[in-house]
Amino acid sequence: MKLIIDDADVSAIRHLVEYYPVDGVTTNPSILAKSGRQPFEVLREIRDIIGPDMELHAQVVARDAEGMVADGRRIVAELGENTFPKVPSVPEGFKAMRQLVADGIKVTATAIYTPMQAFLAAKSGASYAAPYINRIDNMGFDGVGVAMEIHDIFQANNLPCEVLAASFKNSQQVLELARYGVGAVTAAPSVIEGLVKNAAIDAAVDAFTADFEGLVGVGKTMADL
């Protein structure tokens, strides 16, 4: 399962790329708006941080298929080949996905709340389908369960599309999808950091260090022996 950062905070992205085995970054218009900067200025800086080989996902904002295609082409032209325009899974979006894929552009289908949206997006050629886990939960349904169902539909129908689960509230949701083997998740920096934030882990590391320093001296490591 790929682990992708869902943010446009360049400081947070730089930190996570340095310390964690992440596979890329997703953004959306709301996340970009929080930066207070021009969208392509931020996106180009993110691309510089993650390099050409990691995935970068950026959303189209036009409401009609023709405009979505124009947005998608511009996004890839500005940010490189390993960039996925995010296209909403609505009728105009399905039309746009098919055109972008015909142009050789990889697409992420977004704004997914139901398995049939994901099925139609995959049939339209999308590389990823992004169900909103927490938002689905807030509607009274099971977001993790919906993502698993989408994964099963893709497998059963031999569709070359992966789940890119988004909108998480905790690391337990990420764990459940990792156990199930979905293609990818994208999570906020706080959720990614939460994967290993545990007082018991910190206490164990501190105890090992204290025992070692009691043996060889404070501040010494294996490299000093």
Q: What is the pLDDT of residues 85-113, one digit of tens each?
A: 999 999 999 999 999 999 999 999 999 99
Burial 93-131 (b: 16+ CB within 10 A, else e): bbbbbbbbbeeebbbbbbbbbebebbbbbbebbbbbbbb
Categorize the per-residue pLDDT at 209 as very low, low, confident or very high, splitting at 50, 70 and 90. confident
| Average pLDDT over all residues of the chain | 95
Average the pLDDT over 210-219 and give the result. Answer: 85
* Same structural domain, 156 and 68: yes
**CB 103, CB 77: distance < 8 Å:** no
* Same structural domain, 218 and 126: no
Q: Is the pLDDT of residue 215 over 90?
A: no
Q: What is the pLDDT of residue 129?
A: 98
* Same structural domain, 186 and 202: no
Q: Which segments of 159-218 are extended strands (E)?
A: 162-165, 184-187
Q: What is the pLDDT of residue 193?
A: 93
Q: Is the pLDDT of residue 202 over 90?
A: no
Q: What is the pLDDT of residue 134?
A: 95
* Same structural domain, 152 and 203: no
Average the pLDDT over 153-163 and give the result. Answer: 98
Residue in this structure with the two tokens 């708006």, named with its chain if needed:
33
* Same structural domain, 158 and 199: no
* Same structural domain, 187 and 212: no
* Same structural domain, 225 and 183: no
* Same structural domain, 87 and 173: yes
Q: What are phi and psi of 38, to 5 degrees?
A: -65, 135
Domain housing 220: 195-225
**CA-to-CA distance for 225 and 222, rounded, in angstroms?**
6
Q: What is the pLDDT of residue 211?
A: 79
Q: Is the pLDDT of residue 200 over 80?
A: no
* Percent of the residues in the chain that have a pLDDT greater than 70, as a whole number: 100
CATH (domain of 154) = 3.20.20.70
**Domain count for the chain:** 2
Q: Is the pLDDT of residue 198 over 80?
A: no
| Residue 104 host element (H or E) | none
pLDDT tens column, 43-59: 999 999 999 999 999 99
198 or 150, higher pLDDT? 150
* Same structural domain, 218 and 121: no
Q: Which residues contact 130 (CB under 8 A, 6 or more apart)?
A: 26, 86, 108, 109, 110, 111, 112, 163, 164, 165, 166, 186
User: What is the DSSP code (8-state) at residue 141?
Assistant: S
Cα dist from 55 to 24, 63, 90, 100, 210, whole Å: 4, 24, 24, 17, 41
Q: Is the pLDDT of residue 35 over 90?
A: yes
Average the pLDDT over 133-153 and give the result. Answer: 97
Q: Is the pLDDT of residue 199 over 80?
A: no
* Same structural domain, 182 and 216: no
Average the pLDDT over 192-210 and give the result. Answer: 83
* Same structural domain, 173 and 224: no
**CA-to-CA distance for 126 and 123, rounded, in angstroms?**
7
169 is catalytic: no
**CB 111, CB 90: distance < 8 Å:** yes
pLDDT tens column, 160-190: 999 999 999 888 999 999 999 999 999 999 9
Q: Is the pLDDT of residue 201 over 90?
A: no
Q: Is the pLDDT of residue 128 over 90?
A: yes
Q: What is the pLDDT of residue 208?
A: 85
Side chain identity at residue 194, one-letter code:
G
* Same structural domain, 40 and 99: yes
Catalytic residue among 34, 86, 169, 220: 86
